[in-house]
Amino acid sequence: MSERPAHHGPDGRFRIPWPLEVPDQTRNGGVLRWQRERLSTPRPPNPRPEQLPPGTPDVAHPRAAADDVRITWIGHATFLIQLGGLNLLTDPHFSRRASPLRWMGPSRFVPPAIALDALPPIDAVLLSHDHYDHLDAPTVRRLHRAYGDELAWIAPLGHAAWLAGMGIRANVHDVDWWDTVELRGAAGPVTVTCAPAQHWTRRTMREFNNRLWGSFAIRGGNRCLYFGGDSGYFRGYEEIGARLGPFDAVMMPIGAYDPRWFMAPAHMNPEEAVRAYREMGGRGAFIPMHWGTFRLTDEDPLEPPVRLRKAWADEHLPGDDLHVLRHGDTVRLAHGPRAPSK
């Protein structure tokens, strides 16, 4: 009998296989306590659009050269990654709300920095998990309509069944942690490896953790990137860096962290994101995400980058490696051979 991995529960659901540093309160009346606290505590206001000015995309059309890496922040956890001559999208979300409903739920502070129709042709979509701010059914439908079976879908275990329900059955890769998918790049393979994260999944009240969640390492054209998905801080980043790094750029979530007693198991704060970066090797571009787009939690929506800059300086990390992007900005990695690792 083959041994079941620790993150596969005996009931067929997935689970976090290591002890949590802050206990999970979701099943202890925590949701109600959070909602009650929110009623009595004034929350900082939502930002006005002019407080989130648009950036300047530097997207290659239709594709970048095999050794040219460009990472463009569309908003929230959506990046256009141009690497190895391919165009990849992470957690594509191009709708107004992160919600199952069209008229209710968190709506954007600013529109997606580039419209879906204005993007270069997409070769693969990487989905980190099923939450509404990451997996948006209308966007999935539009992508499938535009590219059909040509488009590759890579997502943690359980998402293939959901995609099949959307009529997407070809070119779907349902991956467990540490599984690798190989895509055909312009000058050799581009590989996408699913890695652990500390999170959970649910789209309807009946579901809980029946789909896995994850992060991704993306390797091609002599470069390696890390997309952190949605995660609380956990003691696994050293292993991710050792097995899949060193990374030339990491995209890390820095928002949706307050109140800590409730959010810490599922969402890291900026200080923890910097700690994770250091534990993964502490090198390469740091590109924050999961802030400034949807209001999901209680912190001031403009606070995450302020705390990130401070944490970065407190750790004496090189200022050139921190890339706090405006929506639409592009980070372009320099050409040429990669700098020697650690």
Binding site residues, Zn ion, CB under 5 A: 131, 133, 230
Nearer to Zn ion, 236 or 253 (CB): 253
Residue 218 C-beta: closest distance to Zn ion, Å: 19
CA 125 to chain centre: 12
Return the number of the residue (52 or 66) whose C-beta is nearest Zn ion. 52
What order of strands is seen across the sheet that includes strand 188-195? Answer: 180-185, 188-195, 215-220, 223-227, 249-253, 285-289
- Minimum separation from the CB atom of position 131 to Zn ion (A): 3
Judged by CB, which is closer to Zn ion: 52, or 69? 52
Nearer to Zn ion, 209 or 330 (CB): 209
> Which of residues 228 and 282 has its CB atom nearest to Zn ion in the complex?
228
CB of 91 to Zn ion, least distance (A): 8
Beta-bridged to residue 252, according to DSSP, are 288
Least distance from Zn ion to the Cβ atom of residue 319, Å: 28
**Residue 68 or 230: which CB sits closer to Zn ion?**
230
Q: How far is the CB of 314 from Zn ion (least distance, A)?
A: 26
Measured distance between the N- and C-terminal CA atoms of the chain, rounded to whole angstroms: 41
Sheet containing strand 78-83, edge to edge, reads 172-175, 152-156, 124-126, 86-90, 78-83, 69-75, 330-333
Residue closer to Zn ion by CB (options 70, 131) is 131
Contact 121, 87 (CB under 8 A): yes
User: How many residues appear in the chain?
Assistant: 342
CB 136 within 8 A of CB 92: yes
Give least dist CB 155 to Zn ion, A: 13
Nearer to Zn ion, 202 or 338 (CB): 202
Closest residue to Zn ion, judged by C-beta, is: 131
- Please report how close the Cβ of residue 156 comes to Zn ion at its closest, in angstroms: 12
Query: Which residue type occupies 52?
Result: L
Contact 226, 191 (CB under 8 A): no
CB 256 to Zn ion: min, Å: 6
DSSP letter for each residue of 279-335: HTTS-SEEEEESSSS---SSS-TTHHHHHHHHHHHHTT--GGGB--PPTT-EEEE-S
Least distance CB 316 / Zn ion (angstroms): 30
Instruction: Tell me which amino acid residue 194 is.
Output: C
Instruction: Give which of 288, 295, 292 is closest to 274, Cα–Cα.
Output: 288
Tokens of 312: 């970065």
Nearer to Zn ion, 83 or 273 (CB): 273
Contacts of 13 (CB under 8 A, 6+ apart): 208, 209, 210
